[in-house]
Amino acid sequence: MNWKNIFIIGAAALLPVTGMSQANILNAKKPDEIGIRTQAQKDIDNDAPLDYGYVDDRDILWSKTVWEIIDLDERVNFPMYYPIDTVDIGSDRRSLYDVLMKNIKNGKLEDVYVDSYFTEKRKYSDLTATLQKVDTTDLGYEQINAGEELSPEYVNRRALDAADIVEYRIKGIWYFDKRMGELKYRLLGIAPVAPDVNFIEDESMAPEDALVELFWVWYPSARQILHDAKVFNARNSAMPISFDMLLNARRFNAVIYKEDNVHGDREIRDYIADNALFQLLESKRIKETIRDREQDMWAY
């Protein structure tokens, strides 16, 4: 073994324990000690999301804002969807929806909005009607009409959970930075999409017509939260990645469904109706136009 290999092995041994799928699992004497890091480990851990660099408006030669759909039925997007059942799994494994909802409930995630233009803010109490429904059965109405107190068994409650999330919609901006001389992408917002909770069991509606955006999260303010939440790495479970890394590195497949345009940012389906193939081709055309922009900047 040469000195180069010895140096690599030594450097790997000094990596923070946070790289493990479960911290302190090899040193734990009891199951209760799994995931508990010592103060020394916390002191040497400088784990934080990589800060965005400052970009002056004068350095942006060109930009294009796009909205995309991340379909959770695609295998490459599974890390955002699973696990949907958290009963028999560790607390370090959660889906993206569970991470967002947990931090909205406890107040850590405050920049939650109604739409992708981030003009109207919402709190968790304002989202109750969107996330759950309460329905009274016919027997319950008979109790009310008879002047009796409504029994709990006559009230049906249905709340959305991670298994109901069908897709995510993201908003981002592609821009050409003249100082760096390259095309870059900046994620601005993300929204979970699920069937309308009031019509989730209504089979008379087409599935695509019942989908609603539950809320929009201003992404830059959620980076630390998403950095602390880890994503399962199928290739190496000892080195999980964070949701922040997954999204910023665009380790997912997405389809453009809208771009900023003079027609009030209309969606592709608004001017190409009832033709899924042509809609997909139009999305691909927009993507290729953005991709060619960097090459065009260097063409003389």
Q: What is the 3-state secondary structure (H, E, C) of 237-279?
A: CCCCEEHHHHHHCCCCCCEEEEECCCCCCCEHHHHCCCCHHHH
**Does the pLDDT at position 22 exceed 70?**
no
Partnered with residue 167 across adjacent β-strands are: 71, 193
The more confidently predicted of residues 196 and 299 is 196
Q: What Cα–Cα distance (Å) separates residue 238 from each residue in 13, 218, 232, 234, 235?
A: 13, 30, 9, 10, 9
User: Quick one: pLDDT at residue 23?
Assistant: 64
Distance CA 53, CA 182 (A): 14
Mean pLDDT confidence for 224-232 = 91
Task: Please report which confidence band the pLDDT of residue 142 belongs to, taking 50, 70 and 90 as the band edges.
Answer: confident
More confident site: 196 or 267: 267
- Could you tell me the two tokens for 204? 């008379």
Mean pLDDT along residues 61-86: 93
Across 118-137, average pLDDT: 87
Instruction: Determine which of 35-44, 160-169, 178-187 has the lowest per-residue pLDDT on average.
Output: 35-44
Please give the Cα distance from 20 to 22 (Å, whole number).
Answer: 5
Q: What pLDDT score does 39 carry?
A: 62
Query: How deeply is 243 buried, as exposed, middle or buried, from its count of CB atoms within 10 A (0-12, 13-18, 19+)?
Result: buried
Does a cis peptide bond (omega within 30 degrees of 0) precede residue 79?
no
* pLDDT higher than 60, residue 149: yes
Q: Name the least confident of 37-41, 172-176, 199-203.
A: 37-41
Q: How many CA atoms lie within 13 A of 299 on its CB side?
A: 5
Per-range mean pLDDT, top range of 93-102, 141-150, 230-239: 93-102
Statement: residue 80 has pLDDT above 60 = yes
Residues sharing a CB contact under 8 Å with residue 130, sequence separation 6 or more, in sequence order: 197, 212, 214, 215
CB 68 within 8 A of CB 257: yes
Look at residue 99 and give its three-state secondary structure: helix
Mean pLDDT throughout 16-32? Answer: 59
Which of 2-16, 138-152, 161-175, 260-274 is predicted least confidently? 2-16
**Residue located via tokens 């453009």:** 256
Name residues whose C-beta falls within 8 Å of residue 67's C-beta, 6 or more positions apart in sequence: 116, 169, 170, 171, 256, 257, 258, 259, 267
Band (pLDDT 50/70/90 cuts) for residue 18 is very low
Q: Is the pLDDT of residue 263 over 90?
A: yes
C-alpha 258/C-alpha 69 separation (Å) is 9
Give rounded-to-5 percent helix, strand, coil for the chain: 35, 20, 40
